[in-house]
Amino acid sequence: MRILGIETSCDETAVSVVNDGRVILSHVLATSEGMHAKSGGIIPEVAAREQIKSILPVLEEALKGAGKEKIDAIAVTIGPGLIGSLLVGVETAKTLAYVWGKPIVPVNHLVAHIYANWINQKPPLFPAIALVVSGGHTDMVRISGHGKLKWIGGTRDDAAGEAFDKTARLLGLGFPGGPKIAELAKDASWDYYDLPRPMIDEENLDWSFSGLKTAVLRIVEKEGKNLQKQNLAAGIQEAICDVLVRKTLRAVKKFRPTSFLLAGGVAANRRLREKFELEIGNLRFEIDFRVPPPQLCTDNASYVASFAYYNYKPISWEKISASPGLTITGEA
């Protein structure tokens, strides 16, 4: 079954065609990322305007690779995300469903991120624990089957990606901050500055990242011209990775799932991948650790189409609407 996926929840305009949830036939993406670099964060109005400019060229390009006559269904991200950006994808998808007379599947962006772990791979087995670390969300869920998710932990304030982006801004690194911090952190000392790891020893499965931001601000102000930017970047990356890994391992030891699935933009971080691999390798029981290749971790439409294949519940196009506040368990 060939599904056309559309993703426009934030600053990426993406269209993919995926066969049977696992084989990418086309994968096209435009981003307005560079336009937000100076502000250190996304400007919703600019992102929405760029979505409108990009959607038709991106769609046309994706269809060239896959052939529109062979599309069986359409999948579209309905939330969470920025309302102006979401509307572009949602209205485009509804129009296509109406004109082509094809079924349409609404997609939750956060759950869809996890399905990057199905693309070009042997499907992971349930029960699973998934950690979704993106720009706006940090959520851990237990999954007993497709569509059967239970939330078990998350952030109480900033998301992990937000922590990267906001601290990068304090260092004057531009947006998105994650890749910039990762680049600067290469070959630097992560323990040069002493940074907090909030809630790391608490029994719960939650995170808090706003204290890290405050600590970084204090160091930047105190050090002034003497600031060792590279070492601070390495310290930030290490602190974020440490708390993510520690709390996730706590959940993995408690529930002993068959698979652990890492997903979301921050999952592209090399240090985070390495740390998970190491810690999971040290466990006294077997667990199948999956993480998508970096280019499938950040926003794209292939996992949107993959999600729709494994959670195939088409609804009438009239009933589809953007839901900016959607949570990972489907509550709006």
Give me the residues that bind Zn ion (CB under 5 A), please: 134, 299
Indicate which of ligand KG4, Zn ion, none lies near residue 182 (CB less than 5 to 8 Å, by partner kind): ligand KG4
- Angstrom distances, CA of residue 322 to CA of 88, 90, 91, 238: 9, 6, 9, 36
SS3 65: helix
- Compute the least distance from the CB of residue 244 to ligand KG4, in Å: 11
Q: Is 28 in the site for ligand KG4 (CB under 6 A)?
A: no
φ/ψ (deg, to 5) at 192: -65, -45
Q: Is 201 helix (H, G, I), strand (E, B) or coil?
A: coil
CB nearer to ligand KG4: give 84 or 103: 84
User: C-beta of 70: minimal distance to ligand KG4 in Å?
Assistant: 29
134 is a contact residue toward ligand KG4 (CB under 6 A): yes
Helix (H, G, I), strand (E, B) or coil at 75: strand
The reply to whether 177 sits near ligand KG4 by the rule CB under 6 A is yes
Handedness of CA 89, 91, 94, 96 (dihedral sign): negative
- The structure tokens 């934030």 sit at 10
Q: Judged by CB under 6 A, which of 59, 140, 182, 219 binds ligand KG4?
A: 182
Residue 235 touching ligand KG4 (CB under 6 A):
no
Among residues 21 and 264, whose Cβ is nearest to Zn ion?
264
Of 245-304, binders to ligand KG4 (CB under 6 A) are: 264-266, 268-269, 298-299
Q: Are 264 and 161 in contact (CB under 8 A)?
A: yes
b/e per residue 23-50 (b: at least 16 CB within 10 A): ebbbbbbbbbbebbeeebebbbeebbbb
Nearer to Zn ion, 10 or 195 (CB): 10
What is the distance, to the nearest Å, from the Cα of residue 235 to the centroid of all Cα atoms in its chain? 22
Complex with Zn ion: residue 155 or 230, whichever CB lies closer: 155
Of the two residues 89 and 103, which places its CB atom closer to Zn ion in the complex?
89
Binding residues for ligand KG4, rule: CB under 6 A, are 10, 134-136, 161, 164-165, 176-179, 182, 264-266, 268-269, 298-299
